[in-house]
Amino acid sequence: MNGTLKSFQVNDQVVFLSEVGGGIITKIEGNYFYVLDETGFERPFLADQLSPVIQSMKKIELNDIQKDNKGKSQVKTVKSQDLIPEIDLHIEQLVENHRGWTNHEILTFQIRTFRTFLEKSANQKAKRIVVIHGVGNGRLKQEIRSFLSGSKRYQFCDADFSTYGFGGATQVDIRLNWKD
């Protein structure tokens, strides 16, 4: 994927470009950005292996990564009965610059981001999420729904059209403690 030189800072939220997942930058040493991933491991990456996250999750952070007084990372789960986590998969909401990316690269990145968000939400016991994919030609929506229909763990339908528009988002109900 082509892109411009990226500059990151400590505490920036990023996603991995070559694998599913992401995390928070904890330190920078030379050309390496150390990222605390969803599993709690700190791993080194080069700038061209990361992309900044600029999406919002409707005022709910599934993980608040905080430093204790000894500099160790702690993961604190935030629970809310009223808010439903959501992710906007429009590419402009996920990366700062996608110029030069092919449609296939964009779609692959969006699907990878969706699967990471879904897995993270399920692991943190979210019962429902909303995935904003837009109407477009329907390819992203089709891929998302095809993935979801492959598992009895998920049920889905169009999200509330008064909030998200007609067919522009999918509501996913997650069955907890489910094994395929």
Residue 7 lies in a domain: no
Residue 59 lies in a domain: yes
Residue 179 lies in a domain: no
**Domain containing 57: what range?**
13-174
Residue 142 lies in a domain: yes
CATH of residue 81's domain is: 3.30.1370.110
Report how many domains make up the chain: 1
Residue 54 lies in a domain: yes
CA–CA separation, 73 vs 63, rounded Å? Answer: 12
- Of 84, 16, 88, whose CA–CA distance to 55 is shortest? 88
Q: Identify the burial level of 143 via C-beta atoms within 10 angstroms of its C-beta, where 0-12 means exposed, 13-18 middle and 19 or more buried.
A: middle
Which tokens go with 54? 């600029």
What single-letter amino acid sits at 1?
M
pTM, entire model = 0.57
Q: What is the chain's pLDDT, residue by residue, as a tens digit (180 residues)?
A: 344 446 788 888 887 776 767 788 899 998 899 988 777 788 898 888 887 775 443 333 444 433 344 444 333 344 444 578 899 998 888 888 888 888 888 889 999 999 999 988 888 888 999 999 887 677 899 999 999 998 889 999 988 888 877 878 999 999 877 665
Residue 5 lies in a domain: no
Residue 3 lies in a domain: no
Q: Is 41 helix (H, G, I), strand (E, B) or coil?
A: coil
Residue 49 lies in a domain: yes
